[in-house]
Amino acid sequence: MNNNILEDLELFNEIIKEFLNEEKTTPASKFISPENIMKEIDLKLDKHPLDNEKYKKLLKQLINSTPKSSSKHFFNQLYGGRHSKAVLGDLLAVILNTSMATFKIAGPQVIVEKTILETISNLVGYSNESGGTFPTGGSMSNFMSVVMARDKIDLSINKRGMSKTLIAYTSDCSHYSIAKNASFAGIGRENVRYILSNNRGQIDIISLEKEIKKDIDRGLTPFYLNATAGTTVLGAFDPVKKLVNICKRYKIWLHLDGAFGGSVIFSKNLKNLVEGIENVDSFCFNAHKTLGAPLSTSVLLVKKKKYLYKSFDNDAQYLYQTHNKDY
């Protein structure tokens, strides 16, 4: 098979135009069970490459059998169609293939990232001590917040490992990544307390404070509260302002998981759903869930940039040559 970018760009255009037409007239692909797929589409990998015609035919068959999860006719949780300008950005990024590690290899793309992060930071109400990054998804954004909270409590964990029991809190309507992340970070799934929600899916403040006090009495260390802006099933928003007060009182890191609903910050009418957000320690949202950006476009903001550095900064002189302290 040829390695010819212009030829393959042509093929891309041909396939995608057919696909977009098909999407209009046939909004749902025919379901093929996993047991039957190999009979219908020959996906096994041969030792020898396919000839161009067979390759093209197979590719079209594969694409037409894939669920059309980005069309406006696809109804499932967490999908939001596509905005063509975001798609354009992602297509260009494929060709540029820029690694964002340093200014020397990414140039102005670094400024694009910084500008977006600073603009959102201002919108949230964070000061210029804030920072942010684009993690690989919502679960990873939440993971980074857990690690920062853990290292803030005791930076020696980063160096010498976990040695005491830390307790995290989240509502029983929150995302499944919270327990997973506790296991990854050496905290342990069983050290996540699931707090009852009210009948609208919001965390119950009184139960939360009771649990925190109980844990302190037991000699354990509360360190992290995950609040949710937009729970998966009910789309509930935890009461940020009240949680800020509790977290200040007990010196607990407050993370606002807005993977699903956090983009209300862009709406004048809905922003009040996250009132108090300027006081949370970290906040994330997924532009691929509610803003029409392609998978995955995740944003993590941190009230104090220094915690990003404390947990994630790493020297690698042999690999990264930076321009100056900031770039």
> Per CB under 8 A, which of residues 78..107 are in contact with a copy of itself?
82-85, 87-88, 90-92, 94-99, 103-107
The region of 189-197, 202-210, 237-245, 266-274 touching a copy of itself under the rule CB under 8 A is 189-197
- Interacting residues with a copy of itself between 127 and 156 (CB under 8 A): 136-137, 140, 147, 150-151
Q: Is 236 left (phi over 0), alpha (psi -120 to 50) or beta?
A: beta
State how far the alpha carbon of 146 is from the alpha carbons of 102, 143, 164, in Å: 25, 5, 15
* Beta carbon of residue 90, minimum distance to a copy of itself (angstroms, whole number): 5
Residue of the chain from 25, 51, 75, 159 that contacts a copy of itself (CB under 8 A): 159
Residue 300 DSSP class: E
Full DSSP string of 176-241: THHHHHHHHTTS-GGGEEEE-B-TTS-B-HHHHHHHHHHHHHTT-EEEEEEEEBS-TTT--B--HH
């990854």: which residue's tokens? 184
Residue 276 DSSP class: T
| By CB under 8 A, residue 6 contacts a copy of itself | yes
The region of 159-167, 235-243, 274-282, 299-307 touching a copy of itself under the rule CB under 8 A is 159-167
Residue of the chain from 221, 250, 266, 294 that contacts a copy of itself (CB under 8 A): 294
* Beta carbon of residue 207, minimum distance to a copy of itself (angstroms, whole number): 21
- Interacting residues with a copy of itself between 203 and 262 (CB under 8 A): 232-233
Residue of the chain from 186, 213, 248, 251 that contacts a copy of itself (CB under 8 A): 186
CB 65 within 8 A of CB 29: yes
| By CB under 8 A, residue 38 contacts a copy of itself | yes
Q: Which CB sits closer to a copy of itself, 144 or 244?
A: 144
Q: Which CB sits closer to a copy of itself, 82 or 242?
A: 82
Nearest to 254 by CA among 184, 137, 149: 149
* Beta carbon of residue 301, minimum distance to a copy of itself (angstroms, whole number): 15
Residue 289: partners with Cβ closer than 8 Å, 6 or more residues away:
78, 79, 80, 138, 259, 260, 263
